[in-house]
Amino acid sequence: MSINNHSSVSQFLLLEFSEVRELQILHALLFLLLYLATVTGNLLIITAVVLDYHLHTPMYFFLMNLAIFDLGSISVILPKSMVNSLLNGRHISYSGCVAQVFFSLLFTASNIYLLTVMAYDRYVAICNPLQYEMVMNRQRCLELVAAVWIGGLLSGGLHTSGTFGTPFCSNVVNQFFCEIPQLLKLACSDVPLFESGVIALGAAFAIGCSIFIIASYVQIFTIVLRMPSVQGRRKAFSTCLPHLIVFSMFVVAGGFAYLGSPFNAPSHLDLAFSLIYSLVPPLLNPVIYSMRNKDIKFALSKLLG
């Protein structure tokens, strides 16, 4: 389907957080602080993993890619919202909206797939430690990350084609960025069959990833609880629990954001869930994975002198 079939819509109007000028400036400043904190934290992780050869292991290789996805996802949506608040505007071009949908879906889907891969990595490391180096070799890690990127590209491309393959009868998006559920509300007809199929396929993949991660952690916690060493159990839990918490927050908030519209959820709940799944994980991931990790903290201390 062509994404050029957009009727007479040449731009969209995004949600304003407030019509009061002072509150618009405050919103822009808060988003700027959030953005700078997120960018700084993720860039530090990427730099530390790249420069410190002690961190050239599968776990940190996956963590570096997670930081890249977090950087990308927040950079797609926050700058435009900040600029609109500073300039007292709401506009985003049609092509800009298409780009937001494509790249946000690319990074969001890739994030889910990568968190699944990271759960598999922890499963092998804890449940089959003697086979870890053989199973999670360099070639396997590269193949897994390549599959994550390809899956993200396919998700972004399919959703973008399905969403913009139908004409829009309105250009007022009830969200601070171009989000698929809110865009589908603007369609002149029912949700296209193609996009319905893509949404169903995406939901199936998300559910499958969730089941895989839960099953992996059931096995992991079963092994961990049998460990005689208290320090070993503490180390295993400190590695796995943050991953599980972030994934749960990401999937639950994202699921409500996408399922809230069909169930006529109040608009403020749509906004809240979208803020949680789009902004909170990229901010928390560097804190969770670096502040509780001796290797990352040591690499950052060397990096920062």
- Listed by start position, the domains of the chain span 11-303
Residue 32: its pLDDT value, please? 94
Check whether domain 11-303 has CATH 3.40.50.1860, yes or no: no
Residue 191: its pLDDT value, please? 66
pLDDT lower than 50: segments of the chain = 1-6, 261-263, 265-266
Residue 259: its pLDDT value, please? 66
Residue 189: its pLDDT value, please? 73
Residue 62: its pLDDT value, please? 93
Q: Which of 250, 251, 219, 252 is nearest to 236 (CA)?
A: 219
Residue 205: its pLDDT value, please? 86
Residue 150: its pLDDT value, please? 96
Its pTM surpasses 0.85: yes
